[in-house]
Amino acid sequence: MTTNRTIISTPAAPAAIGPYSQAVLAGRTAYLSGQIALDPATGQLVEGGIQAQAEQVFRNMKAVVEAAGGSLAQCVKLTLFLTDLAHFPVVNEIMQRHFAQPYPARSTVGVASLPRGALFEAEAIVVLD
């Protein structure tokens, strides 16, 4: 059985740094790969700590969702990865700037490390209307 899927790619978000796609659209559901705080123009991790990284992650995610034809308002599930769970309140505050109520379902996981020394990563599932 072959799944009807479309690979989503946009220069408005960082290029994949491994053998994966920025997102895959299967039917009306977009599965976004994890985004870290890479500047799409330079490919470098943004400076400025957790606040700057969280802002960049959500901007990158928005760019990928828009390339799939959707918006962050259509996000049904987020998974957040933090190297320090003490950053949880900061990420919550920044997330509220990018997502409106009703918020998507969400899991937050503390991890030992992330690619390129990032402090934060997020992935999402979005159902397009």
The pLDDT, as a whole number, for residue 17 is: 85
Q: Name the pLDDT band for 1 (thresholds 50, 70, 90).
A: low
Nearest to 122 by CA among 103, 108, 105, 112: 108
Region 83-107: mean pLDDT is: 97
CA distances 74 to 21, 29, 56, 125, Å, are 20, 10, 19, 9
Q: Name the pLDDT band for 2 (thresholds 50, 70, 90).
A: low
Rounded to the nearest integer, the mean pLDDT of the chain is 96
The burial class, CB within 10 Å (0-12 / 13-18 / 19+), for 21 is: middle
pTM given for the model: 0.95
Region 8-23: mean pLDDT is: 95
pLDDT exceeds 90 at position 3? no
pLDDT exceeds 80 at position 92? yes
Give Cβ neighbours of residue 22 (< 8 Å, ≥ 6 apart). 8, 9, 10, 13, 15, 16, 32, 33, 64, 67
- Return the domain boundaries, the chain: 5-127
Q: Which fold has domain 5-127?
A: 60s Ribosomal Protein L30; Chain: A; (3.30.1330)
